[in-house]
């Protein structure tokens, strides 16, 4: 006589009208399931005579209690703030974080989405920078829940991910400030134009005409790019009277090199960056910057991801926007206001 067909977790889920993950939560007495649903599942388990295979079940529904965080470059001073807040939010829910550096590289961003499951994680918090054309397609095809930290990029409303970002372009605040303080020959210092291009677009849109000699595109978003930009602007026949830097690391590099060249900031040239990382407050002069709320954005992106991972029901994708804030410091104050105080505007 043939053995009776072995009851599987899929059979239980089908009978209960729920997903495999929900059955597993009931069996493991995990959070994210109502008492009524758990009681019903356990009753079906008893009726069907299901005996769980704990190791196989855990592997199948990827209950690793780990998530991945994919960032552009850990060397950028704003990234540790974001990574710390992600790790702390995950830890509060009993999760660990596996970190991936994508280096702002289109190939690595796509590779991350294709390969992340091999890390045996339950979900991914991702901060793209290059945004290759097929990125959204891969996100939509992913079997893992994904939360995107997005700065200055218009994403499709059909994207199957929770998105946390800014309510308006950060660069617009920089340009408004520099124009308001009377600067007329404003330069832009950035990385390759195709990366965080919306920050450069804010520069273009704020001016009636762009003098291309006042635009410097380096190879990266780092301190050295700022120093190279400072040399470039210093050697122009007519130097700019203000520089909008794509981020704080570039701004710090500019201020550092100008000090060596004898260029006075802000008297000769005002400098403003974006990120509001800690280093802007320990330079001389302190550097004006737009806060992109890194810690807050990282925390919320993680909480949305964990909420989706732990939910027993499909959830609508959330779009959350923080308001960027301009922090005015010494590097863009008028000469007679150059003091060691700071204020927000």
4 in any annotated domain:
no
- 217 occurs within a structural domain: yes
Q: What is the pLDDT of residue 1?
A: 39
228 located within any domain: yes
**Residue 73 sits in the same domain as residue 124:** yes
Q: Given the DSSP bridges, would you call strands 288-291 and 270-275 parallel, antiparallel or unpaired?
A: parallel
**115-137 per-position pLDDT tens digit:** 998 899 999 999 999 899 999 99
207, part of any domain:
yes
Both 44 and 189 in one domain: the answer is no
Angle between helices 54-61 and 20-28 (to 10 degrees): 130
Residues of the chain with confidence (pLDDT) below 70: 1-5, 31, 52-63, 334-345
Residue 255 to residue 271: CA distance in whole angstroms: 7
What was the pLDDT predicted at 53? 60
What pLDDT score does 338 carry? 42
The beta strands (E) that lie in 223-337 are given as 242-245, 270-275, 288-291, 319-322, 325-328
Residue 1 within a domain: no
Q: Residues 50, 91: one domain?
A: no
CATH number at residue 18: 1.10.260.40
CB of 81 closer than 8 Å to CB of 111: no
Q: Which residue has the tokens 């995107």?
A: 148
Q: Are residues 209 and 334 both part of a single domain? A: yes
Same domain, 27 and 70: no
| 107 Cβ contact partners less than 8 Å away, ≥ 6 residues apart | 132
How much is the pLDDT for 306?
96
Number of compact structural domains in the chain: 3
Cβ contacts of residue 240 below 8 Å, gap of 6+?
185, 186, 187, 214, 233, 269
- The reply to whether 335 and 198 lie within a common domain is yes
Same domain, 230 and 332: yes
Asked if residue 138 lies in contact with residue 114, where contact means CB atoms within 8 angstroms, the answer is: yes
Task: Note whether 181 and 52 are same-domain residues.
Answer: no
DSSP letter (8 states) at residue 49: T
Does 2 fall in a domain? Answer: no
Same domain as 334, residue 212: yes
List pLDDT tens digits, range 263-273.
Answer: 999 999 999 99
Same domain, 206 and 332: yes
E strand or H helix that includes residue 277: none
Of the candidates 31, 46, 61, which is a domain's last residue?
Answer: 61
**Are 297 and 158 within one domain?**
yes
Which DSSP symbol is given to 209? Answer: S
Contacts within 8 Å (CB) and 24+ apart, 258-261: 258/230, 258/234, 259/284, 261/230, 261/231, 261/234
- Whether 219 maps to a domain, the answer reads yes
Q: Which domain holds residue 219?
A: 170-292+326-344
Residue 319 sits in the same domain as residue 280: no
Phi-psi region of 170 (alpha: psi -120 to 50; beta: other; left: phi over 0): alpha
Structure tokens at 157: 């409303």
CATH of the domain at 338: 3.40.50.2300
In a domain, 3, yes or no: no
């Amino acid at each position: 006589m043939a053995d009776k067909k072995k009851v599987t977790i899929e059979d239980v889920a089908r009978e209960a009208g729920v997903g495999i993950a929900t059955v597993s939560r009931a069996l493991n007495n995990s959070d994210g399931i109502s008492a009524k649903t758990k009681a019903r599942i356990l009753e079906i388990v008893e009726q069907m005579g299901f005996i769980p295979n704990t190791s196989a079940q855990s592997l199948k529904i990827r209950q690793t209690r780990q998530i991945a965080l994919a960032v552009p470059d850990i060397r950028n001073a704003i990234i540790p703030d974001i990574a710390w807040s992600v790790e702390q939010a995950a830890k509060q829910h009993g999760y660990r974080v596996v970190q991936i550096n994508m280096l702002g590289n289109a190939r690595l961003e796509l590779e991350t989405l294709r390969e992340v499951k091999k890390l045996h994680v339950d979900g991914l918090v991702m901060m793209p920078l290059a945004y290759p054309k097929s990125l959204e397609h891969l996100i939509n095809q992913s079997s893992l829940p994904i939360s995107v930290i997005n700065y200055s990029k218009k994403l499709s409303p059909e994207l199957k991910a929770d998105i946390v970002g800014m309510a308006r372009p950060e660069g617009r605040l920089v340009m408004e400030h520099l124009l308001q303080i009377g600067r007329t020959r404003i330069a832009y210092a950035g990385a390759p134009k195709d990366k965080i291009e919306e920050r450069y677009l804010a520069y273009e849109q704020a001016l009636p005409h762009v003098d291309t000699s006042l635009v410097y595109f380096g190879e990266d978003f780092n301190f050295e790019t700022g120093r190279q930009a400072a040399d470039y602007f210093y050697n122009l026949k007519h130097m700019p009277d203000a520089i909008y830097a794509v981020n704080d690391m570039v701004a710090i590099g500019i201020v550092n090199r100008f000090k060596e060249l004898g260029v006075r900031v802000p008297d000769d040239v005002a400098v403003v960056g974006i990120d509001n990382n800690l280093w802007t407050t320990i330079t001389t002069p302190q550097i004006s910057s737009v806060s992109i709320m890194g810690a807050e954005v990282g925390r919320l992106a993680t909480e949305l991801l964990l909420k989706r991972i732990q939910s027993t029901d499909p959830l609508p994708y959330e779009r959350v926007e923080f308001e960027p804030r301009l922090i005015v410091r010494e590097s863009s104050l008028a000469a007679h206001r150059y003091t060691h105080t700071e204020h927000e505007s």
